[in-house]
Amino acid sequence: MSISINNLSKTFGQFQALTPLSLDIHDGEMIGLLGPSGSGKTTLLRIIAGLETANTGTIHFGGRDVTHLHVRERRVGFVFQNYALFRHMTIEENVAFGLRVMDKKERPSNQEIQKRVKDLLDIVQLGHLAKRYPEQLSGGQKQRISLARALATKPEVLLLDEPFGALDSKVRKELRRWLRSLHDELGFTSVFVTHDQDEAMELSDRVVVMSNGCIEQVDTPARLYEQPNSRFVFDFLGNVNVFNAQWDGAQHWSNGQAFITPHQESQFQHNGLLYVRSHEISLANKENKQASLPAKVMSVTPIGAEVRVELAPQGWESDQYWEVRLSHRQFDSDKIRRGGILYLVPQAGYFFAQDTHQDPLKLAWPFLEKDAVMFEI
Ligand SMILES: Nc1ncnc2c1ncn2[C@@H]1O[C@H](COP(=O)(O)OP(=O)(O)OP(=O)(O)O)[C@@H](O)[C@H]1O
């Protein structure tokens, strides 16, 4: 079922929670609403569900205008974080609940309800727990039951609000994979809220990045990463290092004693901010033509498959320590030691020219091999 949202806005008293926004969700798509706390994700989800009314705008499910329809008539399934199962009902009674309270005209026969509940419990792989009560289940199992309950009425739209928020990271990961395969298998349209970027990137066909009640960007995870359209999106999707670049009128962006040589093209020859991702930087023990960014190694931390190195700029200004991520292969502990002075060499970056509202310009330094570590003894 496709969902078409047009010019939707919402105020709570004087507060504008959603500024007029539009969004088209395709049939069978899985959409992640991602943004910081208070950006309006839950409000948008609740309006799609019919649990909240918008001040302006329309919502269509397929060709059907549902803007003024009651939540029950919209036929959506919900899963919320900690969405309480009914404590006094067994698991199978919980899953059957939505079917039992249907209008008589639409309600399936008892036999059919039993079969559907059994099938759903099989799908969520918890058939063996059918006779138990919710308090006898783990958090992850409860969320799977919530999902089975939401799917019992065969909704074409499934709405999830931080569904795995309260679970530990291993269970979260498992449930994510499992939700994605269920979504693909059953073919419903899903919209879920998260403030966890990994979750959004891993699960979504497209991610809607929100801030202050606005949609900042809607794109596939790959394109969001490749072509963030604003500093907000860039900042929100992972750690970045920022170089406050002053064009010296000749060849360099400089800041104090540091410099970076951009490309020859005139579009780069302005003041602005250069954003550099942590794994798109090499470390060297000498400056070179491309850059001279001296920095002191403050910490070295192995994290899983990578080593994170934090460096404090020396002789130039930056609000934060710079972070560089290296593979263990690239990392050589003899050369990268706490307290040592090294040179940061950006391999690629995004330039936000001052005083323009253009998308950032991507640049990569072609004369260096990616991943090269340049130590000269
Ligand atoms: N019923 C309400 N009355 C007044 N203000 C509200 C109400 N519901 C939400 N808001 C405000 O609207 C803004 C958006 O809230 P919303 O819950 O949609 O944000 P969110 O992005 O889902 O945040 P979080 O990740 O913290 O859940 C917030 O500033 C919130 O305080």
167 pLDDT above the threshold of 80: no
Are 260 and 149 members of one domain? no
Atom of ligand 1 at shortest range from CA of 43: 18
Centre of ligand 1 to C-alpha 233, Å, is 20
pLDDT class of 200 with cuts at 50, 70, 90? very high
Q: Has residue 372 been placed in a domain? A: no
Are 259 and 165 members of one domain? no
Are 100 and 196 members of one domain? yes
Which domain-ending residue is among 226, 254, 271? 226
User: Atom 24 in ligand 1: which residue has the minimum CA distance?
Assistant: 37
Are 279 and 162 members of one domain? no
Portion of the chain with pLDDT greater than 70, in percent: 96
Centre of ligand 1 to C-alpha 44, Å, is 10
Atom of ligand 1 at shortest range from CA of 44: 18
Which domain-ending residue is among 193, 226, 259? 226
Are 248 and 306 members of one domain? yes
pLDDT digits (tens, 9 = 90+) for 323-366: 999 988 888 777 889 999 999 999 899 999 987 777 788 888 76
Using CA atoms, how far residue 237 sits from 223, 277, 314, 334, 367, in Å, is 12, 10, 27, 32, 28
Q: Has residue 233 been placed in a domain? A: no
Q: Has residue 377 been placed in a domain? A: no
User: Atom 17 in ligand 1: which residue has the minimum CA distance?
Assistant: 42
- For a mutational test of ligand 1's pocket, the pick from 43, 53, 193, i.e. the residue with the most ligand atoms closer than 8 A to its C-beta, is 43
The answer to ipTM > 0.85 is yes
Q: Which CATH number is 298's domain given? A: 2.40.50.140
Mean pLDDT of the chain: 89
Which residues line the pocket of ligand 1, CB cutoff 6 A? 12, 15, 17, 35, 37-43, 193, 195
Name which of 65-79, 112-126, 244-258, 359-373 the model is least confident about: 359-373
Are 297 and 193 members of one domain? no
Q: What is the mean pLDDT of the segment spanning 153-161?
A: 90
Centre of ligand 1 to C-alpha 13, Å, is 12
Atom of ligand 1 at shortest range from CA of 39: 21
Q: What is the mean pLDDT of the segment spanning 276-288?
A: 88
Q: Has residue 371 been placed in a domain? A: no
Are 159 and 264 members of one domain? no
- The total number of structural domains that make up the chain: 2
| First-to-last C-alpha distance (Å) of the chain | 62
Task: Enumerate residues 6+ apart whose C-beta is below 8 A from 275.
Answer: 231, 234, 240, 241, 242, 349, 350, 351, 352, 360
In which domain, by residue range, is 256 found? 239-364
pLDDT score recorded for residue 83: 60
Q: Has residue 375 been placed in a domain? A: no
Are 270 and 319 members of one domain? yes
Are 310 and 222 members of one domain? no
Q: Which CATH number is 197's domain given? A: 3.40.50.300
Centre of ligand 1 to C-alpha 334, Å, is 50
Which domain-ending residue is among 205, 226, 247? 226
Are 152 and 289 members of one domain? no
Q: Has residue 198 been placed in a domain? A: yes
Are 301 and 220 members of one domain? no
Centre of ligand 1 to C-alpha 37, Å, is 8
Among 280, 291, 296, CA closest to 342: 296
pLDDT class of 294 with cuts at 50, 70, 90? very high
pLDDT class of 377 with cuts at 50, 70, 90? very low
User: Atom 30 in ligand 1: which residue has the minimum CA distance?
Assistant: 38
Atom of ligand 1 at shortest range from CA of 33: 21
pLDDT score recorded for residue 250: 85
Are 203 and 315 members of one domain? no
